[in-house]
A = this chain, B = another copy of it.
Amino acid sequence: MSRRVTLKEVALRSGVSYQTVSKVINGQVQVTSETESRIWQAVHDLNYRPNYTARSLRSQRSFTIGYSWRPSPPDQANPILDAFLQSMFHAAELSGYYLLCFPFHNDPQRQIESYRELMDTRRVDGFVLSGVEYNDPRVLLLLEQRFPFVAFGRSNPELRFSSIDVDGGYGLRLATEHLLAQGHRRIAALAWPEESRVGNNRMEGYYAAMRAAGIEPLPEWMRRGEGRYAFGYQAARELLSLPDGSRPTALVGLNDYMAVGAIKAVQDVGLEVGSQIAVTGFDDTPIAQYLTPPLTSIRQPVWEIGERLIQMLLEIVDGATPIEAEAVLMQPSLVIRASSQMTTKTSS
């Protein structure tokens, strides 16, 4: 924690003014190749690195991106957090940026305060948002302040900002079509409440696939609730006790936790998952492949999302010209495992 090498020392050692050293380092000026090499030599000898804070003060940029996310409850881990963060760190580092992470506050007032603080103190140059909701106060604040940000997920259509979202409808279409291809006709859904935009998006894919197959889903096949194990279990029990003609033979879950609950319910009533009742999830939670049977699920291109989000944000932050907001939609992929297959052959 000792020495600090400054521009002046480099200048002294290479016999030019310190401002010239600065310009050479930033490639803003032509100098004799001789002086240039002297300067670089000195930089190297002294192991000089520009003081980030000073550079930042002068150039009015912090080279820092703020990110905060809603923590998952302890019994329901966020399966993509690690990869999502790492992908952003890597992409940011390539452009000389770092991520500043700050705590998530449930109180909207307090939460907004966090964002304001970071903006007003000029601590970050932009934000990445995730888990945006309809009329998200953060989005409203940042749009109003014209502060750069991008979001993982969409909000109200009339709010214009750059975002990337996973095409959940496409994901559910894949899952539903896969089940239809296995011969299923009565396919039920474990869904989220109606207020959930993400949930509604995903369900569209289910309806699209069903109707394309000429099937009009029965209203009782749609169960809405909190996306947790307990609800998945309960809903599946109810679905399995429907009368013979309407009892589903397959269940699509909007997340893995509900699907796992459903698997347990199927097994508890003495039916076999896969061969008799098919189940699919969403998110491809790591341990899902180690269940008995392994869970068919839908995987999001997390790494790519993180990278592109950062690239989009830095274009806004760095870019000379204002960027048109764009909403990118990415395609998830279906990972087929035993929980949705007639043959009990364990894949994976």
Contact = CB atoms under 8 A, between A and B. Distances in A.
Contacts of A122: 4, 51-53
B117 A49 contact: yes
A168 to B, nearest CB: 20
Contact of A52 (B72, B81, B89, B121): B121
Nearest to A73: B286
A49 B85 CA distance: 29
A54 interface: yes
Nearest to A267: B292
A52 B61 CA distance: 11
Contacts of A89: 68, 101-104
Contacts of A74: 83, 286
Interface stretch (A37-45, A140-148, A215-223, A326-334): A140-148
A285 interface: yes
A137 interface: no
Contacts of A292: 264, 267, 292
B81 A81 contact: yes
A239 to B, nearest CB: 19
A50 B100 contact: no
Interface in A262-297: 264, 267, 285-292
A13 interface: no
Given A99-B101, A122-B52, A260-B287, A77 B77 contact: yes
A274 to B, nearest CB: 15
A82 interface: yes
Given A1-B148, A93-B103, A82 B75 contact: no
Contacts of A50: 121
Interface of A: 1-2, 4-5, 47, 49-54, 56-57, 62, 64, 68, 71-72, 74-79, 81-83, 85-86, 89-90, 93, 98-104, 117, 119-123, 145-148, 229, 257, 260-261, 264, 267, 285-292
Given A53-B123, A86-B103, 8 more contacts: A1-B145, A52-B122, A93-B103, A99-B102, A260-B290, A267-B292, A287-B287, A291-B291
